[in-house]
């Protein structure tokens, strides 16, 4: 039996309980978690913004140590340090064949079947196929990436979602070049990682925007050259003033709300690119006039999981960590226990803090 934070029903508070995990079957691996990040997607799953089967163990951003492997597993062995991959590509579907593994048609398969059980035999689902809010988990071999040497195991959990998403948004989706201007809306874990990625790309100026004034120090520490308090009337003008009157070459929306998507679009220069990184609800509707689409000639695009291939991109991120260009520790604002996840959800909902990390 392992301790886990269980979502019994959508909208219900998480319950600390014990679940039973089977031994890994063919192609499966058992992992003892070292740490798990608390992501906004976990909050969205718990409150129904995103759909999930219940009861489920949430948590999809994690790292740990392999304790057992099933038949046919070749890429890892007991004792190996690994990062969990919540969107493992199958490598065989149409979209994988197009070279877009982040859009794999089968990436969510694991989340639709139970992976463990409660004491009374009730089946438990793994949140986003990973179930990292537990001391241990069992996942498919393809849901793991071996952790390169030189990266601390606990902070490496952030590579599994926030850092991979923010870095990929800048380097894979938007392809920011040195000297281009960037504005980032929303400074949670992903937004802060996006700032660091923009700095690594050599962007400038790098403008951070958030509703919370307490985020200014965090923003500057992560690479922002300027911080703006979000305001419907003044923020867009301030961005243009900081970019020579043009607007930013690149805007990144890391919130997932209609108003911030619209604000990011409006802060982008004519011919620039707005990249939506945040995940919003289906009721968040954004509208544009046909004339402004033509006149501004901006590109509006989504970014899924950083448009990344974790097996290729995590080693690149590890090299940035080793070289001191990427600071994982700076992203962590709170180190917590399993039972403190509801408090982390509350901070997130209020727009406070950066990334909370459950440390086992």
Q: Stretch 182-198: mean pLDDT, rounded? A: 96
Q: For tokens 């448009």, what's the residue?
A: 307
Question: What's the N-to-C CA distance of the chain in angstroms?
Answer: 15
Token code pair at residue 112? 């639709």
- For residue range 306-322, list pLDDT tens digits in order: 999 999 999 999 999 99
Q: Where exactly are the structural domains of the chain?
A: 2-160+328-359, 163-306
Q: Is residue 316 helix, strand or coil?
A: helix
Composition of the chain by helix, strand, coil, percent to 5: 35, 25, 40
- For residue range 7-62, list pLDDT tens digits in order: 999 989 999 999 999 999 999 999 999 999 999 889 889 888 888 999 999 999 99
Nearest to 278 by CA among 256, 304, 305, 306: 256
Nearest to 201 by CA among 174, 181, 171: 171
Pick the CATH number of 163-306 from 3.90.230.10, 2.60.40.1580, 3.40.50.720, 3.30.530.20: 3.40.50.720
Give the CA angle between residues 74, 167, 5 to the nearest 5°.
65
pLDDT > 70: percent of the chain: 100
| Average pLDDT over all residues of the chain | 94
Q: For tokens 């968040």, what's the residue?
A: 284
pLDDT of 348 above 90: no
Token code pair at residue 311? 């097996």
pLDDT interval class at 120 (50, 70, 90): very high
Supply the pLDDT for residue 54.
94
pLDDT of 71 above 80: yes
Q: pTM for the full model?
A: 0.93
Contact 61, 36 (CB under 8 A): yes
Beta pairing class for 61-69 and 28-38: antiparallel
pLDDT of 351 above 80: no
Q: Stretch 271-300: mean pLDDT, rounded? A: 94
pLDDT of 252 above 80: yes
H or E element at residue 139:
strand 136-140
At the fourth CATH level, the homologous superfamily of domain 2-160+328-359 is Medium-chain alcohol dehydrogenases, catalytic domain (3.90.180.10)
């Amino acid at each position: 039996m392992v301790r886990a934070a269980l979502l019994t029903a959508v909208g219900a508070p998480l319950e600390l309980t014990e679940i039973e995990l089977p031994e890994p079957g063919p192609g499966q691996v058992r992992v003892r978690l070292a740490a798990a990040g608390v992501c906004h997607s976990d909050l969205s799953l718990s409150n129904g913004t995103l759909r999930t089967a219940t009861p489920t163990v949430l948590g999809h951003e994690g790292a740990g140590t392999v304790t057992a492997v099933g038949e046919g597993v070749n890429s890892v062995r007991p004792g190996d340090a690994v990062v969990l991959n919540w969107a493992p590509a199958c490598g065989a579907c149409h979209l994988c064949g197009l070279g877009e593994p982040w859009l794999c048609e089968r990436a969510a398969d694991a989340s639709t079947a139970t992976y463990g059980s409660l004491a009374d035999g009730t089946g438990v689902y793994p949140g986003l196929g990973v179930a990292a809010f537990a001391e241990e988990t069992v996942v498919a071999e393809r849901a793991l990436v071996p952790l390169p040497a030189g990266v601390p195991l606990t902070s490496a959990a952030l590579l599994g979602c926030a850092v991979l998403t923010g870095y990929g948004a800048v380097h894979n989706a938007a392809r920011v070049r040195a000297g281009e201007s960037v504005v980032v809306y929303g400074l949670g874990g992903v937004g802060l990682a996006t700032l660091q990625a923009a700095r690594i790309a050599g962007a400038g100026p790098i403008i951070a925007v958030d509703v919370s004034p307490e985020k200014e120090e965090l923003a500057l520490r992560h690479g922002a050259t300027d911080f703006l308090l979000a305001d419907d009337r003044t923020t867009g003008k301030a961005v243009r003033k900081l970019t020579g009157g043009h607007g930013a070459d690149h805007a990144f929306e890391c919130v997932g709300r209609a108003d911030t998507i619209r604000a990011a679009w409006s802060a982008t220069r004519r011919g620039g690119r707005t990249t939506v990184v945040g995940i919003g609800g289906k009721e968040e509707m954004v509208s544009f006039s046909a004339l402004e689409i033509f006149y501004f000639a901006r590109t509006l695009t989504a970014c899924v999981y950083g448009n990344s291939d974790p097996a290729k991109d995590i080693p690149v991120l590890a090299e940035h960590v080793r070289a001191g260009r990427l600071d994982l520790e700076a992203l962590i604002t709170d180190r917590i226990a399993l039972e403190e996840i509801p408090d982390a959800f509350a901070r997130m909902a209020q727009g406070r803090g950066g990334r909370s990390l459950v440390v086992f």
